[in-house]
Each structure stands twice: as structure tokens, then as C-alpha cells.
Chain A
């Protein structure tokens, strides 16, 4: 399949799926109509043949973090547990356009994670070696090679934080987030999944320690199983079932420039100077940085965060000095103490949890959809999801990915 990137907009999403009223009962109710919820429903139907499924979305489909992320896809995480699920996801990305029969503008343009200090270099080399042991394409590249891969990066040695090298994952890249959501939604709806919008869950009903139904703004919906995919609002939902989660919801801001000629051939992330930048197919520079320090559900953050992010971007990319900022926004990210997700069973029977992806959930969309669908269908964790239990915070088996998460929390 060859096509001009960005030129072949798919048909209007209104026509891609029905907008049904909820039925009185489903085998599985997925709460949250973002990428993870839609992917979970898709794999439930496709892999496990479970099609009596509703995806409940309190707003419009994929209007939360799925519409607000910076679309970076990579799998160069440090620990074996993370490598498992993120690399599984990347492999699914590589076949996803064919699988969904839908263009996703998935572009494997590589990601550079820059190192700016001796400690950065050591950590980066360690991560590259760990990645290689897990069969993930990763290499350490020196400053000259960074300049070859991305000529607009300022590699001058006389800046405050000089680029000393980088990790490079060539198979990493970006995709068009809306198309990803529409692709999953369309394919799930075609297999019989009901995608129900403007339907907010207000209560979770249980009997004898087992979930039986959800109360919603559109009435009670009985459910054999309930799968939570609510990202930033996971704490609020879990509380309805009497479950405390080790999450804090923060605003995470991102922004785009006006449309520019293609200048940026890859994805660049810098933990130390702290910004990550790619250029979307249409031409806008897409940037993000760290979370706002305080917790918040308001989908907006503080302007000084944007200011610091812009300063970092200009340090790395002096060529951006005359670009204009077009838009900024925030999503609500559910951050765990170890920067790894929580996927699996809960103390309530037939209630399943997928949350805590924090700042990195987009890249996991197909991977966690597959693993979470398996977990829900079989009633036990998928092997790739097994390390990410809720009780690791009690046992101490944390998966500390703060270094590879690339977003300061």
C-alpha cells in the first residue's frame, strides 16, 4: 500500500460506526471509549469471539487522552517486564493497518533519546544493552550520528546541555491518533460491539463480591464482566467499586506549531533538557514535556510549563525560533509510583482494571488491547500483563520505569 501521507483522509467518522442506544445487558461492558477501551473491545471480538460487548464513553469516542497525546510509539524500556508488553505492542503496530484495514499513518521514523551528561550516557548505554538482550532494536549513537539522523538538532559543544549521544530505536515512530481510534472503532462495531457515547458510569453494582451491572447516565446496564479503561478517571471509577488505587491524576500538556515544511525526520526526546518533538504528517511540530506538579481533572495546566518546554525546544532546535505556537492543551494522566501500568484482576470478581499508563499509554494501545482482552476473556492475566498487578505495591515487585518513561513525574 503506497499513499501520500496525510493526503488520503478517510471518510467522515460519523459513517464508520453506528451510534446505538444501550441494551439492558452485555457479556462485557468496557468503561472508557478511548484507544485502550476500543482496542480491548476489538480484540475481545476478534480473538475471543466475545461480541456482546458495549464500550461506554462519557463524552465522545476518543476525545480524552486519545485526542491529546503526542502519538509517540516505541518499546525501548529498561526492564524485561516492560519490554514484553511494549514490544508486543510495537509488533502489533507493525501489522495494524493490514489488520484493521484502515490507514493509520503509522510511520517508523525512529526515536532518538538524547543524553546530555555522563550519567545520561551511562543510563542510556545500559538501556540499549538491556533492549538488545530483549531483542529490541536499539543502538547507542554518538553526537555526529545524531546530527546525521536529525540534522536540525543543535549538537554544538558550547551549549549549556550539549548532546553527548543518544539511544536510537529505528522501529519507533508515530501514528495518527484519530485514525487509530477510528480504525479500532470501525472494526469493533463491524463485529457487533456497541459503541455508546454520552454515557457516563455513575455506579458499579456488586452482589456477593461479584460485579453485576453499571449505573450510567443512560440507565442501568447489566454486565457479566466490567473492564475499566478510564485513564485519568480510573481512581474515581474504582472508588465506586470500593477499590483504592495508587494513582495520582495530573495534567499533561502538549502543543503544536503552525504547519511547516518537513524539517524534522524523526522523533527526538530529551529527559534532561526535557522536551519531546516530532513533526506530524500534515506539518505541525508536536511537542510535549513534563506533567504539571499538582493533581487535576481540569484538562488544562499552567502556562509556565509551556514556557519551560519552549525554552527547552529552542535550546535543542534553534531552527524553531520563528515557529508560531498554534494550540496547547492538556490531558489527564493517571500516574503510578513506579511509572508502570496496572493491568489485571481486582478484588471484585469479574471487574478488571487497566490504568496507570500515565504519560505513555498511546504506544501501548494495540498491545494492551490484546493483553487486556485476554485477561478479561480468560479471567486471568495475560503473561505480558502478569507483572503489572495491583498487588505489586504490597509485595514490592515494582517495575521502575521512571528513567525510560521520558516524562518527568
Chain B
């Protein structure tokens, strides 16, 4: 089973975690000012790259804290894990 390195607990089995989709998607500062197109982008459109991807995970059966990870979607290799308030680290 794939191990996911929780920034607080260390490597734990994947089944302890919940996936949270793309990271760094900020809620619009002024939602009512958005056009339909902009609102659709916020609600429905997510990056879907083949390669490194910044995403959210929750250690739901462990410390229950959320964190971000950069994972290569082709190999499922976790390239970095970091806190929610940190910027995306540079990965190879």
C-alpha cells in the first residue's frame, strides 16, 4: 500500500487519508462580481495535469489535519508535502 508522508505524523498508509482535490483554489474575494464564466471556472474547472500536481489531503483517520502535497499523477510519487499556509514548494 502506498505510504503518504503526513507532515505531522510521518508516513502512514494511504487508506488513512482522504483526498481533497486541487490545492490553492482560493474562494473569490467578491463572488457577486464574477461573470457566469468566472463563476463556472471557480466551481467546476480544475487543473488536471499529467505530471506534478499540487493537491490537498486530509489525514482523516490519524491527526485529522489537512495538508498539501505535490504528487506526480503519472507515477503517484509524492514529491513534497507542506502546510496549507505555505506556498507550493519547487519540486524537481
Contact = CB atoms under 8 A, between A and B. Distances in A.
A298 B74 contact: yes
Nearest to A294: B19
Nearest to B4: A294
Contacts of A300: 76
A117 interface: no
Contact of A298 (B15, B21, B37, B76): B76
B41 A244 contact: yes
Chain B, interface residues (CB within 8 Å), range = 20 to 34
A293 B2 contact: no
Contact of A297 (B1, B19, B37, B73): B73
Nearest to A296: B73
B46 A294 contact: no
Given A245-B45, A248-B48, A297 B55 contact: no
B61 to A, nearest CB: 12
A353 to B, nearest CB: 14
A296 B41 CA distance: 21
Contacts of B1: 302-304
Contacts of B40: 246, 393-394
B83 to A, nearest CB: 20
A394 B34 CA distance: 12
B45 A393 contact: yes
A394 B36 contact: yes
B14 A302 contact: yes
Interface residues of A, number: 23
A359 to B, nearest CB: 16
A249 B47 CA distance: 10
Interface in B44-76: 44-46, 48-50, 53, 55, 71, 73-76
Contacts of A393: 40, 43-45
Q: Is the interface of B mostly helix, strand, loop or mixed?
A: mixed
A260 interface: no
Interface in B3-26: 14-15, 18-19, 21
Given A248-B21, A294-B55, A304 B45 contact: no
A247 B75 CA distance: 19
Contacts of B37: 394
A304 B14 contact: yes
Contacts of A304: 1, 14-15
A297 B44 contact: no
A246 B46 contact: yes
Contacts of A235: 48-50
A155 interface: no
Contacts of B15: 302, 304
A295 B55 contact: yes
Nearest to B19: A293
A326 interface: no
A293 B18 contact: yes
Contacts of A293: 18-19
A302 B4 CA distance: 12
A246 B45 contact: yes
Contacts of A249: 48, 50, 73
Contacts of B53: 295
A337 interface: yes
Contact of B50 (A233, A246, A303, A337): A233
Nearest to B77: A298
A323 interface: no
A247 B19 contact: no
Nearest to B69: A294
Residue of A302, A337, A394 ringed by the most chain B CB atoms within 10 A: A394
Contacts of B71: 294
A293 B43 CA distance: 19
B49 to A, nearest CB: 8
Contacts of A297: 50, 73-74
A302 B1 CA distance: 7
A4 interface: no
A292 to B, nearest CB: 9
Nearest to A232: B50
9 contacts: A235-B48, A245-B48, A249-B50, A295-B53, A298-B76, A302-B14, A304-B15, A337-B44, A393-B44
- Give the top 8 A-B pairs by smallest Cβ distance, nearest first: A235-B48, A293-B19, A246-B44, A394-B40, A297-B50, A393-B44, A304-B15, A294-B19
